[in-house]
């Protein structure tokens, strides 16, 4: 068995572990009693940590098999940015109880890896001459980190919207004397962080992601000047990357200076990740781009 096959086996192992973790987290999430030891959630966290280890080893092994960094095509890029998103979750979960988010994190990781192996997988190939440059490490690594952080921040914004709706229902039910509705809502979302905490978390993570994405654009321009003689070519990939930067810039500006909070801020963050995935999937597959040689 060669390293490429070993990497794929590790990725499949990670997918199996993420599946078990998702089921465990879902059992905990659907339980009305959140005051006990929450054995299912603890199992979910342990298995997620195992899944992440397998995921990371599979990504590293892929890079070793290719004798380069593991993000030179869409398959490898998906492995890496998903790994970053799960790592962000595990790091944040060390300081606060985020087990209730595990269902969504493990589910998204499983979905991403499923798309990677089913749709995006390519055999290990040598590095194309134009990619054989140290900027491959600098430019694409920062894009990978940014995308992983943006994905996790977007998940928090989606859950913020869910929590806002739940809190609004509770307020309306209290006003109408509907205590049963309140108790049902509380039992389901009791351990989910409050909307304000989710919003603060999404904002802080997005700030880091935005700085990394800004550096991605700068590094890409420098690499383009080196490779093509021009720092900017209005290539579809470049243009959409700038649009993504604009969306996230608008989100941060509105959130920090215009007092946009709650639903409006959350929706801006969600729109940002949608634009990012359009850039990643739609542009890569359907646009005639100068970046087509890389598959990313």
Q: Which residue has the higher pLDDT, 250 or 180?
A: 250
Q: How many CA atoms lie within 13 A of 24 on its CB side?
A: 21
Confidence (pLDDT) at 100: 87
Is it the case that residue 187 has pLDDT exceeding 50?
A: no
230 pLDDT tier (thresholds 50, 70, 90):
confident
H helical segments located in the chain: 3-30, 39-66, 74-92, 102-115, 135-176, 179-189, 195-228, 236-257, 263-277, 283-286
User: Per-residue pLDDT for 275 more than 70?
Assistant: yes
* Per-residue buried b or exposed e for 238-271, using 16+ beta carbons within 10 Å of the residue's own CB: bbbbeebbebbeebbeebeeeebeebebbbbbbb
Find the mean pLDDT for residues 243-266: 86
- Identify the band that residue 235 occupies on the pLDDT scale cut at 50, 70 and 90: confident
Burial of 279 (0-12, 13-18, 19+ CB in 10 A): buried
Label residues 110-122 b or e (16+ Cβ within 10 Å = b).
bebbebbeeebbe
Nearest CA to 234 out of 242, 226, 245, 225 is that of: 242
pLDDT at residue 240 above 50? Answer: yes
Phi, psi of 86 (to 5 degrees): -65, -40
Task: List the single range of 85-89, 115-119, 129-133, 200-204 with lowest mean pLDDT.
Answer: 129-133
Residue with tokens 């470049």: 238
Query: Would you place residue 234 in the very low, low, confident or very high pLDDT band (cuts 50, 70, 90)?
Result: confident
pLDDT at site 217: 94
Distance CA 44, CA 39 (A): 9
> Greater confidence, 2 or 284?
2
Residues in the chain: 296
Calpha distance 27→24 (Å, rounded): 5
pLDDT score of 184 more than 70: no
Give the per-residue pLDDT at 189: 55
Place of tokens 């055999």: 123
Q: Is the pLDDT of residue 179 over 90?
A: no
The pLDDT confidence band at residue 188, using thresholds 50, 70 and 90, is: low
Task: Tell me which residue has tokens 């801020």.
Answer: 265
pLDDT at 54 over 60: yes
Please provide the average confidence, as pLDDT, over all residues in the chain: 86
| Percent of the chain residues topping a pLDDT of 70 | 87
Which of 127-136, 159-168, 217-226, 229-238 has the weakest average pLDDT?
127-136
Mean pLDDT of 227-252: 88
Q: Are 68 and 127 spatial neighbours (Cβ–Cβ below 8 Å)? A: yes
Q: Which has more confidence, 116 or 286? A: 116
Q: What's the average model confidence in pLDDT over 267-288?
A: 88
Please state, in angstroms and rounded to a whole number, the distance separating the CA atoms of residues 264 and 102.
Answer: 25
- Alpha carbon distance 223, 227 (integer Å): 6
User: Is the Cβ–Cβ distance between 79 and 58 less than 8 Å?
Assistant: yes
Which residue, among 103, 90, 20, has the nearest Cα to 53 in the 3D structure? 90
Q: Is 109 helix (H, G, I), strand (E, B) or coil?
A: helix
Q: Is the pLDDT of residue 116 over 90?
A: yes
Question: 0.85 cut: is pTM over it?
Answer: no
Rounded CA separation 266/198 (Å): 10
Give percent of the chain above pLDDT 90. 52
Q: Lowest mean pLDDT: which of 30-44, 195-209, 256-270?
A: 30-44
């Amino acid at each position: 068995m060669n390293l490429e096959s070993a990497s794929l086996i590790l990725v499949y192992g990670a997918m199996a572990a993420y599946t078990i973790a998702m089921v465990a987290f879902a059992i905990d999430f659907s339980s009305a009693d959140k005051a006990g030891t929450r054995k299912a959630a603890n199992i979910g966290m342990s298995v997620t940590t195992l899944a992440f280890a397998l995921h990371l080893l599979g990504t590293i092994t892929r890079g070793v098999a290719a004798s380069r960094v593991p993000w030179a095509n869409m398959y490898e890029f998906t492995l890496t940015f998903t790994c970053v998103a799960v790592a962000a979750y595990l790091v944040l979960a060390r300081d606060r109880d985020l087990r209730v988010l595990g269902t969504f994190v493990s589910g998204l990781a499983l979905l991403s890896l499923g798309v990677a192996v089913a749709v995006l997988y390519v055999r290990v190939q040598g590095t194309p001459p134009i990619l054989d440059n140290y900027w491959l490490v600098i430019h694409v690594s920062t894009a990978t980190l940014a995308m992983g952080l943006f994905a996790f921040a977007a998940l928090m914004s989606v859950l913020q919207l869910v929590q806002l709706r739940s809190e609004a229902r509770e307020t309306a039910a209290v006003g109408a004397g509907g205590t049963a509705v309140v108790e049902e809502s509380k039992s389901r979302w009791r351990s989910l962080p409050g909307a304000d905490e989710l919003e603060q978390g999404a904002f802080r993570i997005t700030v880091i992601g935005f700085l990394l994405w800004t550096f991605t654009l700068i590094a890409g321009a420098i690499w383009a000047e080196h490779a093509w003689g021009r720092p900017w070519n209005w290539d579809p990939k470049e243009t959409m990357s700038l649009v993504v930067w604009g969306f996230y810039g608008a989100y941060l500006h509105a959130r920090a200076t215009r007092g946009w909070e709650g639903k409006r801020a959350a929706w801006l963050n969600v729109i940002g990740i949608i634009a990012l995935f359009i850039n990643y999937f739609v542009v890569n597959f359907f646009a005639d781009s100068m970046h087509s040689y890389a598959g990313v």
